[in-house]
Structure 1
Amino acid sequence: MNPNNFHLANIRFIKRIVVGNDNPQSMRTEKEVQESMDMVNRCLCSTPRGYILNVEKSFGLYNVGEHQIVLQYAVYNIGFDRKPAFLDDHAQG
């Protein structure tokens, strides 16, 4: 088997990363959203290389007090053949 080929059967670990605001009670800052996107990019470029399995896109319309707000977010499900070490480092830091 060529190690450069992607096979769904080889996926042993899935990382779920939310990019955007999904909770009106706990709004993420622009910096936090950018950090999430940086993590998606790192998962796709580092070793072991991750593969996007699914992207969930969603939005919500919420009433907060007298204001109406719209929240948009995407959830990236990235699959790996083994859990990357950098994810353990990210969880601790």
Structure 2
Amino acid sequence: MVELSNVRHVKRIVVGSENPARLCTREETEARMAELNHCLTCQPAGTLLAVERSFTLVRIGEHQVVLQWIAYHVGFARKPPPMPPPAPPSFQT
């Protein structure tokens, strides 16, 4: 159990499509999951404080689409360093 009085910084990371007007691509979702994993494993390691789950029903023509998203609240004792940029792909010939 984490002591909430030690939490000085909270980061909210949304995974999924929270805006029906703009759908997330697979790459964006994977980047957000990588950011969440980085926050939970980097030093200082974050602690999962809360999880929000939500969905929206969107009607497109005669079809009904369900948009789902999950927001993770990660708490830190101090502000973590920024996530390093992804390494460019290396092409071998």
TM-score between both structures, scaled by the size of structure 2:
0.83
Unaligned runs of 5+ in 2: 86-93
**Inter-partner Cα distance in structure 2 for 1:23 and 1:65:** 18
- For the residue of structure 1 that corresponds to 2:59, the secondary structure is strand
Instruction: Report what 2:49 is aligned to.
Output: 53
Instruction: Report what 1:40 is aligned to.
Output: 36
- For the residue of structure 2 that corresponds to 1:85, the secondary structure is coil
Unaligned runs of 5+ in 1: none
Superposition deviation, residue 65 in structure 1: 3.9
- How many residues of Structure 1 are paired with residues of Structure 2 in the alignment? 85
1:25-36 aligned at under 5 Å gives the runs: 25-36=21-32
The partner residue of 2:68 within 62, 66, 72 is 72
Superposition deviation, residue 85 in structure 1: 1.5
- For the residue of structure 2 that corresponds to 1:48, the secondary structure is coil
| 1:35-76 deviation line (CA, Å, top 9, x unaligned) | 101111000000011000000011111123443210011000
Larger Rg: 2
Q: Which has the higher helix share?
A: 1
TM-score between both structures, scaled by the size of structure 1:
0.83
**Moved >2 Å (runs of 4+):** 64-67
**Inter-partner Cα distance in structure 2 for 1:80 and 1:38:** 17
**Inter-partner Cα distance in structure 2 for 1:74 and 1:6:** 21
Identity rate of aligned residues, in percent?
Answer: 45
**Inter-partner Cα distance in structure 2 for 1:36 and 1:66:** 31
